[in-house]
Amino acid sequence: MILTAVVVLSGLYLLWQVRKVIVWCIIALFVAVALYPAVNRIQRWRTRRITAILLAYLGLSLGMIGTIALVVPLLVTQIKSLANLAFAVSQNPEEWLGRVRDYADRFRLVWLYDAGVSQLHNVPAQLGQWMESFLLSSGGFLVSAVGFITALFSILVISFFLLLEGDVFINHGLQLFPEPQRPRMQRILTQTAGAVSGYVTGNLLISLICGVALYVVLIVLGMPYAIVLALIVAVLDLIPQIGATLGGALLVAAGLFVDPWKSLVLLGYFIIYQLVENNILTPMVYSQTIKLHPLAIFVAVLMGGLLYGIVGTLLAIPVAEVIRILGAEWLVAREHRMG
């Protein structure tokens, strides 16, 4: 008994030490499942499996490069304009702060203005510390960039081998189960792959719709930096449940620097859009693959975010759906045995 406990605790400790690699493997599994239909379609053109995978990777890379090539010039132009605005504000802060004070007084938010100004006085003294932490600390930008590249390369390599030898891995895994249970396990794997693939595709589609719709609204309102703001909100919208809310809050805050009335219009737009996305768009997109209750989705997103941050939030819904599939299959098997 003591030896068993020691072995179990040692195994748990080892898993905890390599938890980062385990997270990479899980992400790679989701990437492989998302690319699996595309690889199969390419392979039907009588190409080798490895060639189909490389073509799928190439198509994904070209899509990302093409998007960057279209967006970056606009981003550079608008970021320069944003920098010029920040420089103009820094040259004459009294006039800018006076305008903000007038708006705060009009909406009875002087207390918020005073709190913000008191915080601004501490910014110059902290800039050097922030820059050093941003660039050089253990969680700084340079270290994070190296870690991101390492993680990305590892995920792509793992997903490559999962796509290349996925059927072999599945067949070996099925051999671990008794013959009568193998059809059920195959059914579970098929449902799980469909749920993950549908979730990834649906999440990207919803984010694209959010970004395009917002860009049109920003252009109609005559808001500056429309492409930058729409892109930021679209990326944030990839985070389930809370992403669009975070992007909307950021955009409403940005609108205050342009025109408070436009900020109010954007606030109203995001309230309406959230209702449409949560009650119409999301159920319509996920209806074929995700069968979770909205409360279960919300709790799963919160738990995923608390455990693994943004990555956990992104993976929470498909992981919860996999758990639901396993639970449903267990209940069916239990009823069959009792019947």
Question: Which range marks the domain in which residue 50 is found?
Answer: 20-90+136-176
**222 and 150: one domain?**
no
**282 and 206: one domain?**
yes
Please check whether residue 71 lies inside any domain of the structure. yes
| Distance between CA atoms of residues 189 and 176, nearest Å | 14
What's at 239, amino acid-wise? I
Cα 35 to chain centroid, rounded: 17
pLDDT digits (tens, 9 = 90+) for 167-177: 788 888 788 77
pLDDT digits (tens, 9 = 90+) for 120-130: 555 445 545 54
| Distance between CA atoms of residues 241 and 249, nearest Å | 14
**157 and 203: one domain?**
no
| Distance between CA atoms of residues 58 and 12, nearest Å | 38
**188 and 53: one domain?**
no
Number of domains comprising the chain: 2
pLDDT digits (tens, 9 = 90+) for 23-67: 788 788 878 877 888 888 888 888 888 888 888 888 888 877 776
Please check whether residue 121 lies inside any domain of the structure. no
Task: Enumerate residues 6+ apart whose C-beta is below 8 A from 45.
Answer: 52
**165 and 201: one domain?**
no
| CA dihedral of 304, 306, 309, 314, whole degrees rounded to 10 | 20
Assigned token pair, 163: 């796509």
Closest by alpha carbon to 70, among 276, 178, 211, 251? Answer: 211
Is residue 231 within 8 A of residue 216, CB to CB? The reply is no
DSSP for 97-140, please give it.
HHHHHHHHHHTT-HHHHHHHHHHHTTHHHHHHHHHHHHHHSTTS
| Distance between CA atoms of residues 65 and 57, nearest Å | 12
Number of other residues whose CB lies within 10 A of the CB of residue 300: 24
Is residue 292 within 8 A of residue 300, CB to CB? The reply is yes
The answer on pLDDT for 131 being more than 50 is no
**201 and 154: one domain?**
no
Task: Enumerate residues 6+ apart whose C-beta is below 8 A from 117.
Answer: 97
Please check whether residue 168 lies inside any domain of the structure. yes
User: Of 189-203, 214-228, 276-290, which range is least confident?
Assistant: 276-290
Assigned token pair, 275: 């209702």
Specify the pLDDT at position 32: 84
Helix (H, G, I), strand (E, B) or coil at 20: helix
What's at 90, amino acid-wise? S
**277 and 162: one domain?**
no
Please check whether residue 155 lies inside any domain of the structure. yes
Please check whether residue 130 lies inside any domain of the structure. no
- By residue count, the chain amounts to 339
Q: Which residue has the higher pLDDT, 82 or 160?
A: 160
Assigned token pair, 89: 């504000």
What φ, ψ does residue 292 adopt, rounded to 5°? -85, 150
Q: pTM, whole model, 2 decimals?
A: 0.64
